[in-house]
Structure formats: C-alpha cells, structure tokens
Copies of this chain bind each other. A is one copy, B any other.
C-alpha cells in the first residue's frame, strides 16, 4: 500500500461518521489510495487506526491535507467551517473537499469565501447515525441504503462531483442532490426539530418530581422518543447555531400542531364532563359533539398510521433495492477512482423516482377529493 504514486484521502475527524466512512473506503478491493486519519482526540485517531478505518494517522492538520486528492471533513458543522479556514493554505490545487456535517448553507458559503473556485467543494450529509458516538461505534453498514445529501458548489467540475458520488456509493448510500438552503430547511424538519423534541421530552420527564417512578414504567416508546438525546452534544449545538431560522420556524409550526391536538382533547373533555361523571360508553349514551371530538382524534391516529406505513414501505423498498444492486467496480486514481456510468444510471433512476412520486401525489390529491 505504501506506494508513492497512490492518491491520498484524508479523513478529518475519526468519530462515528468519519471512521464509518473510513471502514467503507478501506474495504474497497483494488483501491489505489491510502486513507489518512486525524482527530482532535488522539485516542479517537488511535482507535480508528486499530479498527482499520484508516491506513495511518497523523498529528497535524497540514500533514493530513497536504497532497490529499480528497478531504473528508467529518466533524460538527461549526468545526467544519473553522477547519476550512485552517487548512486553506495547505490544500492542493485540484483537491476535492467534502464534509458530512448536519447543515450545508453556512458551510458552502464559508467554503466559497475561503477557498474560492480553485478547490472543488462538494458538501455532503449522510442521513445516518447512531446514539453512540466515537470510532468504536462506527460500522461499515452505517450508511447502507441511507440518503446522502449532496450540495456541489456551482464551480465544482463534474469529475470532482463524481469522486464524491463514488464515496457515497462505496458507503452503500443513495445520493440526493439538493440546494444548500433547501437542505437546511428540509433537515430542520426531519432531523433537527426531532432532536429538539426528543431533548424536550426527556428533560420534561427527567426533571419532573415523579421521575423516579416514571422511569420504572418507561418502555420502548419512551426510549425511542428520547434516543436522539444521546447524540454528540457538540454536533447538536452546532446544528442549532448554523440553522436557527429554519429550526425556529419548524418548531413554531410544531407548537401549532400540538395546539390543535390540545384543543381537540379539551373539546372531547368538556363534552365528557357535560355527560356527567365518566363517559357513557354505549353508542346511544353519547351526544354527537362528544362523538365528533372523538372521531376527530381517531381520524388523526388512523390517518397518521396509514401514511406512516406507506412511508415505511417506501424506505424498506429503497433499502432492499440498494442491497440488490450490483456493486460498482473500482477504477483508478481520482476522477476514475470510482465509476461514472454507473452513477449516471443512479441519477436517472432518481429522476424516475421523482416522476413516480408525482404520480402518487396526484393519486393522493384525487383520493382526498372523493
């Protein structure tokens, strides 16, 4: 492997994500690159090396990035921006820089400001993770079937984009092209707000006077709903710091959803009280307003259940499809480092999927009208 001709991929940050990326890069047969790792925590770097997530580790940033053909920043969002500034003097012309951090607009703006058009910056965000952090939690299948958002800078040439698509493909993930600002808006809804909701729920119950009893009764539902709380606090803080407006906007809309539910419960409760102590359960014992509030709540649950199952089936379908795909054959150094034609096929498929979604949406709109 120690061949001076081979190209070098630098992984900056060998935690859960960086080490999982490394495991995938290292596992590729006939690879013509070496993988170099660096981490602020020397223990993390050592662990990544021991578990063969990197070929070797280095101690200083300039050492890591110098002559690297690809640099993967796998650190929290604000740290990624700081690193762009620090590494700038040492990055080779023509290098491809990508990252895995949770927000994209601020990172891409900083990249443009710091690096200009000389270096290709293709932002990335794998929609995968675990409640455990650090390289010891890394897994080669962490990204299998997962979406991986890709935000190329406008000036990034096609071959550089292909290098990052190759990385995503090597990890078994599905690339999703998205505008950086749109990315941040979307992940606020599906990732950042869920994280905050999870923290708020855990804090509410944990800080309540009855925690010691509640804890005894907490089952899998509570554990699922508070699991995101266990993620890296630095990552969470950086998410919030780099995506405040979108997070705030979705959080306020979420409060609106809760208001609607609370109102339905209050209505249902008032009606129940009007019927005297305890609700009469036989159909004929209930007046139509109470039935109305109940029906509202029942339809809320029924509709959510149905549509959540549809969503689940689509996710499972995506994963099965991904696993059934033929693996691309690895090529040579940068540019040909990963195959091109295969990826074009993938992009075409993504477009088809868009059309399919259009049709489904039209069907849904139709069925609502009935």
- Residue A330 at the chain B interface, CB threshold 8 Å: no
Give the total of A residues in contact with B, Cβ under 8 Å. 104
Tell me the smallest distance from the CB of A15 to a CB of chain B, in Å.
Answer: 14
Judge whether A269 and B251 touch: CB under 8 Å. Answer: no
Judge whether B147 and A219 touch: CB under 8 Å. Answer: yes
Residues of B close to A201: CB separation below 8 A: 193-194, 197, 254, 257
Interface residues of A in 142-162 (CB under 8 A from B): 146-147, 149
Question: With A and B bound together, what is the CA distance between A155 and B51 in angstroms?
Answer: 61
- Residue A255 at the chain B interface, CB threshold 8 Å: yes
23 contacts between A and B (CB under 8 A): A78-B281, A81-B281, A147-B218, A178-B213, A178-B217, A182-B213, A190-B219, A193-B201, A196-B261, A200-B257, A200-B261, A208-B253, A215-B311, A225-B225, A226-B308, A226-B311, A233-B301, A233-B302, A233-B305, A241-B294, A244-B272, A245-B269, A255-B258
Interface residues of A in 203-225 (CB under 8 A from B): 203-206, 208, 210, 212-225
Residues of B close to A311: CB separation below 8 A: 206, 215, 218, 226
Interchain CB contact (< 8 A) of A190 among B221, B230, B266: B221
- Residue A304 at the chain B interface, CB threshold 8 Å: yes
- Residue A351 at the chain B interface, CB threshold 8 Å: no
Bits for A173-186, please: 1 = Cβ < 8 Å to B, else 0.
Answer: 00010100011011
Interchain CB contact (< 8 A) of A202 among B200, B227, B304: B304
Tell me the smallest distance from the CB of A307 to a CB of chain B, in Å.
Answer: 6
Known: A221-B129, A262-B248. A301 touches B190 (CB 8 A): no
Judge whether A225 and B228 touch: CB under 8 Å. Answer: yes
Residues of B close to A279: CB separation below 8 A: 241
- Residue A361 at the chain B interface, CB threshold 8 Å: yes
Interchain CB contact (< 8 A) of A127 among B200, B217, B227: B217
Known: A241-B279, A265-B251. A308 touches B229 (CB 8 A): yes
Residues of B close to A266: CB separation below 8 A: 248
- Residue A297 at the chain B interface, CB threshold 8 Å: yes
- Residue A106 at the chain B interface, CB threshold 8 Å: yes
**Beyond A78-B281, A229-B305, A237-B301, 20 additional pairs, beta carbon < 8 A:** A128-B220, A146-B219, A146-B220, A147-B217, A182-B213, A183-B217, A186-B213, A186-B214, A189-B204, A191-B217, A198-B225, A200-B257, A204-B257, A206-B307, A212-B357, A224-B227, A230-B309, A232-B305, A241-B272, A248-B269
- Residue A82 at the chain B interface, CB threshold 8 Å: yes
Interface residues of A in 259-274 (CB under 8 A from B): 261-262, 265-266, 268-269, 272
Residues of B close to A208: CB separation below 8 A: 189, 253
- Residue A339 at the chain B interface, CB threshold 8 Å: no
Residues of B close to A315: CB separation below 8 A: 218, 223
Tell me the smallest distance from the CB of A330 to a CB of chain B, in Å.
Answer: 27
Closest 10 CB pairs of A and B: A127-B219, A233-B301, A200-B257, A229-B308, A194-B225, A233-B302, A190-B218, A236-B301, A190-B222, A237-B298
Judge whether A199 and B304 touch: CB under 8 Å. Answer: yes
Question: With A and B bound together, what is the CA distance between A302 and B234 in angstroms?
Answer: 8
Tell me the smallest distance from the CB of A54 to a CB of chain B, in Å.
Answer: 25
Looking across the interface, which residue of chain B has its beta carbon closest to that of A126? B219
- Residue A292 at the chain B interface, CB threshold 8 Å: no
